[in-house]
Amino acid sequence: MSKKQKPPPNPPDHDWLGQAKVLSEAMPFMQRYGGETFVIKFGGNAMGDGRLADLFARDIVLLRQIGINPIIVHGGGPQIGDMLERLKIKSEFIDGLRVTDQETVNVVEMVLSGSINKQIVSDINAAGGFAIGLSGKDGNLIKCDKAARATRDSDSNIEKILDLGLVGEPKEINPHILALFDESDITPVIAPIGTGPDGETLNINADTVAGAIANAVGAKRLLMLTDVSGVMDDADQLITDITITEAKGLIEDGTISGGMIPKIKTCMQAVNGNVEAAVVIDGRVEHALLVELFTEGGVGTLIKTD
């Protein structure tokens, strides 16, 4: 079903032998991954850069071409933030999750399912792939419970349950829908919107969705593309690999904060569950996916079991 793409022009002094060697060196990785499912979370900031988004789309088409089944889950924090600002709607965050009222969730769904999802689908299709966009509503892909967060008051030590509003926690993934994509040539692109217990529309953190889907399909890899080099330590140095216990410690002492919290918690659950490996990688780097998957060099943080 893929369209044939014209190869890009090469300069006259192009290193043909080097190019052939690179392909040959990638072969063992291709053999290892053929037929496997990878869940890829595409983060808000890398998506905002047209050139990086085009390269990402090309990389996805390449993965599909060599027999990998990529499932893409996208975020959209910065784009949602821009639109809320234009509409003069205020929002606050608790542990990296946006507190969401009805007015906000309307905007969230419009931006995620309408604008961003279709942009990624078009980019993949333009790169010669065959992508279909859906949200957690389509085919009942993601049924949710409402999310809540507990905090402890530092003075009284009394635990308070904070209401995040229309925020969902995936409860049930419909694997039949994803199996259909698996058997076909189609790359699914998923917007992190789900249905709540009373049929309401819920906003879900995209990292959480990626993790729930990776677990449901038993993905070989969960790859989280983001806007930093990976997990940084308290001296702002990149941590190339981290165990679950170490990661818990860094969340407790505040080294890991904000949007990195759901990302790392999701990776921890994934490697404790059905997923073979989870990595946070730098989506600002060109071809970050290819570097991570087809070379010995990594570009981020690997989350490991203890």
Applying CB under 5 A, the residues found at the interface with Mg ion are 259
Among ligand ADP, Mg ion, none, what does residue 278 contact (CB within 5–8 Å per kind)? none
Residue number with CB closer to ligand ADP (114 or 258) = 258
Assess contact for 123 and 57: CB atoms under 8 A. Answer: yes
Among Mg ion, ligand ADP, none, what does residue 269 contact (CB within 5–8 Å per kind)? none
Among Mg ion, ligand ADP, none, what does residue 192 contact (CB within 5–8 Å per kind)? none
Which tokens hold the place of 233?
């330590």
Among ligand ADP, Mg ion, none, what does residue 260 contact (CB within 5–8 Å per kind)? ligand ADP
The DSSP element (H or E) to which 151 belongs, if any, is: strand 142-152
Rounded alpha-carbon distances, angstroms, from residue 69 to 109, 167, 182, 220, 301: 26, 29, 6, 10, 23
Residue number with CB closer to Mg ion (129 or 259) = 259
Q: How far is the CB of 6 from ligand ADP (least distance, A)?
A: 33
Vertex 152 angle, CA 96 and 194, to 5°: 35
Q: How far is the CB of 45 from ligand ADP (least distance, A)?
A: 6
Rounded alpha-carbon distances, angstroms, from residue 189 to 112, 149, 171, 186, 223: 11, 28, 20, 10, 14
Quote the CA–CA distance of 284 and 48 in Å, as a whole number. Answer: 10
**b/e 107-132 (16+ beta carbons within 10 angstroms → b):** bbbebbbeebbebbbebbbebbbbbb
Quote the CA–CA distance of 132 and 180 in Å, as a whole number. Answer: 12
Residue number with CB closer to ligand ADP (45 or 174) = 45
Residue number with CB closer to Mg ion (83 or 126) = 83
Among Mg ion, ligand ADP, none, what does residue 231 contact (CB within 5–8 Å per kind)? ligand ADP
Q: How far is the CB of 4 from ligand ADP (least distance, A)?
A: 33
Place of tokens 């946006």: 98
Residue number with CB closer to ligand ADP (4 or 51) = 51
Residue nearest to Mg ion (CB): 259
Assess contact for 234 and 255: CB atoms under 8 A. Answer: yes
Quote the CA–CA distance of 12 and 33 in Å, as a whole number. Answer: 34
Q: How far is the CB of 148 from ligand ADP (least distance, A)?
A: 20
Residue number with CB closer to Mg ion (112 or 127) = 112
Task: Sheet containing 187-191: give its strands across.
Answer: 131-135, 187-191, 69-74, 37-42, 221-226, 277-282, 300-304, 241-243
Among Mg ion, ligand ADP, none, what does residue 70 contact (CB within 5–8 Å per kind)? none
Q: How far is the CB of 250 from ligand ADP (least distance, A)?
A: 6
Residues lying near ligand ADP in the complex (CB under 6 A): 43-45, 75, 77, 96, 207, 226-228, 231-232, 255-260
Q: How far is the CB of 248 from Mg ion (least distance, A)?
A: 19
Residue number with CB closer to ligand ADP (70 or 75) = 75
Q: How far is the CB of 76 from Mg ion (least distance, A)?
A: 9
